[in-house]
Amino acid sequence: MRLLVQRVKGASVTVDEKQVGKIDKGFLILVGVAPEDDEAICSKMAQKVVQMRVFEDADGKMNKSVTDIGGSFLAVSQFTLYADCRKGNRPSFTGACEPKRANELYEFFCGEAEKLGIKVERGVFGADMQVALVNDGPVTIMLDSDEIVKR
């Protein structure tokens, strides 16, 4: 699983000119799922993001979590996080999970974050989405389960 986590002052996702998700302060998370991912990996990744301390404290240090600041998640499925650009000019996406299972794990990840007390807004899996955000900092962090979760 790959998560591109962006600290935002606000973010929204629109499908067919209708806003389907919107948050104020928190994380916009682009979620990519690999074929070998499972529920255990999703749980660990959700916990990692919820506990990640990248919001400023009173001293201006990145020392607070999204929970500490009362923030939310906007989670958007993003199979292109598994783009393989090593050959030619057109990326291959064979490293991404097949859509049905990817959607199940994307929803499971969102549900795990909700269980940890986070309000989670969602994009629409598989839809053509327009994502808007105000990146705060900017702070953008890539989390890869291959580096975080011991298998």
Catalytic residue IDs? 78-80
Name the residue type at position 17: E
Q: Is 18 exposed, middle or buried (0-12, 13-18, 19+ CB in 10 A)?
A: exposed
Burial 23-56 (b: 16+ CB within 10 A, else e): bebbbbbbbbbbeebeeebbbebbeebbebebbb
62: Cα within 13 Å, side-chain hemisphere: 9
C-alpha span between 85 and 24 (Å, rounded): 34
Instruction: Enter the DSSP assignment of 112.
Output: H
